Structure 1
Amino acid sequence: MRFAFLAKLFFILAASLAIVACGSSGKKKQRFAYVERPVEILYDLAVKDLERKRYDRAIAYFEEVERQHPYSAWARRAMLMKAFAYYQGNDYEEAVTAVDQFLALHPGNKDAAYAYYLKAMCHYERIRDVGRDQEFTNNAVEALNDVVRRYPDTEYARDARLKLDLTNDHLAGKEMYIGRFYLKQNKHIAAINRFKKVITDYQTTSHVPEALLRLTEAYLELGIIDEARAAAAVLGYNYPGSRWYQDSYRLFEQRHIVAEGSEPTRRKPEKLKEQAQSVENIDPDSLRAIEPPSPSEMEALEPSDNLPENPLEEARDEL
């Protein structure tokens, strides 16, 4: 009787462990028993599963093509299609690994351009908001530039150029996010360096007008009037109709400072652009207020990768 009870208890525990194991196994790769089949059938089954969005099964069939027919043209194609299936299933790390494997084995393949583009897209799809670490954005810029450099006349390069504009705008947005944070914390030197980086490194992005305004504001806060006028003049020359330009003029008015020159009569905002430069021709040193801080000072000023979602609210709470 006791033996039967123990046997039954053991059976229940074994069944429970099996259920837990199945539930905690996560996303396991689909595996098939080895059954030798013609390569055309295996590849066709993989494509059908891919079309039906059964990505795990498609990947397994593509791997079977590689395993059973490793030296065929089908195997080379299956390797790249496996990477695409991973990408479609949002498993970007596995997709990058599969692409790197394909490029290492077949660098001169006719589909290499697509492989480089697919790798770039794996990074591009993981770009995160400007308040977080931008590793994926930097990786996307590097990979997209690789596509443009290697295959400049392809459709992949044309699309890569468009996405490069978006990624650069995103990186500029990150610099602006940190610069604004520093400005509100009265760390004007660190803020100026961030805004100048936007102006000099991301000139074609949508963040340049605001960067010039914030640069003007930072210089005025430091009492460096000539540099503030220079930044406002560049803003007026390049973006005369923008609200950022009007805001820059108001900054001077609020401090009872003549926007340009020393004439007793304030000039209209349009006059600020006289003798100003185009953004494309700016010498970074021409807008430098003081020497940049030393590396040790910069290390102390650099924010962590995990900036608070609302740094200004957090700073007020600390005060």
Structure 2
Amino acid sequence: MNKLLYIFLLVFALSSCSEYQKALKSEDVAVKLQAAEKKYEAEKYNKAIRLFEQIAPAYRGKPEGEKLTYMFAQSYYKTKQYYLSGYQFESLAAMYPKSEKAEEASFLGAKSYYELSPVYTLDQVDTEKAITKMQNFIDKYPDSKYSPEANATIKELREKLEKKAFEIARQYNTISDFKAAIKALDNFISDYPGTPFKEKALYYKFDSSYQLAINSVPSKMEERLNAAKTAYSALIKFNSSTEYKDKADEMLARIDKDLQQFQNK
């Protein structure tokens, strides 16, 4: 690098840093706002946040507060501080309902909760909040340009909740508590009739019914074998070419063979 250019850039950086430090220490909110805007435009979001935090209360409800709150919220969002961005976006929409940014802020406020939604194995409180907030956005802005993304987001989040519910139900099959598995999977299918996990749920219900039947005492075996056949039929009716068909057909053959002993009596 050219030595003069290096010196120029160093001086510029030191000057910029000095201006920022002066703004942090200044008692003039206008000076802080100007410095915050510069840092925001330069995508120095963490530095902008420090200044916005100092002056946001002074501008709350004022005309300048609309732009400030938007930049403040975006700075949190860009730095993945989603609880804080959600709060700021919601504040903007509430304080400035006629703002041209109100619709976007409502969407990004809901999307902040989407970003907080954890993997399905963890607690899903934020997932449920995100669904509610996204649905509220759609209800308020049904023709919004953000509606397709909002609807897709709700679908994704609902599937996450369904996956968690399915895995909880399937766990009973995994630990060989087949009675509990049948009941839990029945409840899952009833609660989520359109779920993409329905085929899996039907298969594991059949598998649980099969395992319960073939390991039953003789007095209960016939009834349980027939119940397992019914579960098989439900799976095949749902999808005749199910990925589980080969294994399910093998299990059905065993069921029919075991049932013959009762038919011959």
**Same fold flag (TM > 0.5):** yes
Task: Name the CA distance, whole Å, in 1 between partners of 2:167 and 2:117.
Answer: 16
Identity of aligned residues (%): 20
TM-score by length of 1: 0.60
User: Residue 82 of structure 2 corresponds to which residue in structure 1?
Assistant: 92
Matched, 1:137 2:127: yes
> RMSD in angstroms over aligned alpha carbons?
3.4
User: Residue 16 of structure 1 corresponds to which residue in structure 2?
Assistant: none
User: Residue 233 of structure 2 corresponds to which residue in structure 1?
Assistant: 233
Residues 133-171 of structure 1 show CA distances to partners (whole Å, capped at 9, x for unaligned) of 222222222222222222222122210111222212212
Structure 1 residues 227 and 149: CA distance shift in structure 2, 3 A: farther
Return 103-112 or 162-171, whichever deviates more.
103-112
Query: 3-state SS of the aligned residue for 1:243?
Result: coil
Instruction: Trace 1:99-114 onto structure 2 (pairs within 5 A).
Output: 99-114=89-104
Task: Name the CA distance, whole Å, in 1 between partners of 2:31 and 2:257.
Answer: 83
Instruction: Trace 1:99-178 onto structure 2 (pairs within 5 A).
Output: 99-178=89-168
Task: Name the CA distance, whole Å, in 2 between partners of 1:231 and 1:74.
Answer: 65
Q: Structure 2: which amino acid aligns with 1:147?
A: F
Matched, 1:252 2:252: yes
Q: Work out whether residues 229 and 255 of structure 2, in 8 Å CA contact, stay in contact via their aligned partners in 1.
A: no
TM-fit CA distance, 1:62: 4.1
Q: Work out whether residues 36 and 49 of structure 2, in 8 Å CA contact, stay in contact via their aligned partners in 1.
A: no
TM-fit CA distance, 1:125: 1.7
Higher helix share: 2
Instruction: Trace 1:57-96 onto structure 2 (pairs within 5 A).
Output: 57-63=47-53, 66=56, 69-96=59-86
Structure 1 residues 143 and 201: CA distance shift in structure 2, 3 A: farther
Structure 1 residues 36 and 115: CA distance shift in structure 2, 3 A: closer
Q: Work out whether residues 40 and 75 of structure 2, in 8 Å CA contact, stay in contact via their aligned partners in 1.
A: no
Q: Structure 2: which amino acid aligns with 1:243?
A: E
Return 118-127 or 226-235, whichever deviates more.
226-235
Query: 3-state SS of the aligned residue for 2:146?
Result: helix
Return 219-228 or 119-128, whichever deviates more.
219-228
Q: Work out whether residues 239 and 245 of structure 1, in 8 Å CA contact, stay in contact via their aligned partners in 2.
A: no
User: Residue 302 of structure 1 corresponds to which residue in structure 2?
Assistant: none
Residues 91-129 of structure 1 show CA distances to partners (whole Å, capped at 9, x for unaligned) of 122222223333442345443332232222222223322
Gaps of 5+ in 1: 1-29, 265-319
User: Residue 41 of structure 2 corresponds to which residue in structure 1?
Assistant: 48
Q: Work out whether residues 179 and 212 of structure 2, in 8 Å CA contact, stay in contact via their aligned partners in 1.
A: no
TM-fit CA distance, 1:43: 6.5
TM-score by length of 2: 0.71
TM-fit CA distance, 1:244: 2.6
Instruction: Trace 1:251-270 onto structure 2 (pairs within 5 A).
Output: 251-256=251-256
Gaps of 5+ in 2: 1-22, 214-223
Query: 3-state SS of the aligned residue for 1:155?
Result: coil
Task: Name the CA distance, whole Å, in 2 between partners of 1:135 and 1:71.
Answer: 31
Query: 3-state SS of the aligned residue for 2:196?
Result: coil
Matched, 1:218 2:208: yes
User: Residue 290 of structure 1 corresponds to which residue in structure 2?
Assistant: none
TM-fit CA distance, 1:38: 7.5
Q: Work out whether residues 219 and 228 of structure 1, in 8 Å CA contact, stay in contact via their aligned partners in 2.
A: yes
Structure 1 residues 42 and 80: CA distance shift in structure 2, 3 A: same
Task: Name the CA distance, whole Å, in 2 between partners of 1:42 and 1:67.
Answer: 17
Q: Structure 2: which amino acid aligns with 1:119?
A: G
Q: Structure 1: which amino acid aligns with 2:205?
A: L
Q: Work out whether residues 198 and 207 of structure 1, in 8 Å CA contact, stay in contact via their aligned partners in 2.
A: no
Q: Structure 2: which amino acid aligns with 1:37?
A: A
Structure 1 residues 174 and 35: CA distance shift in structure 2, 3 A: same
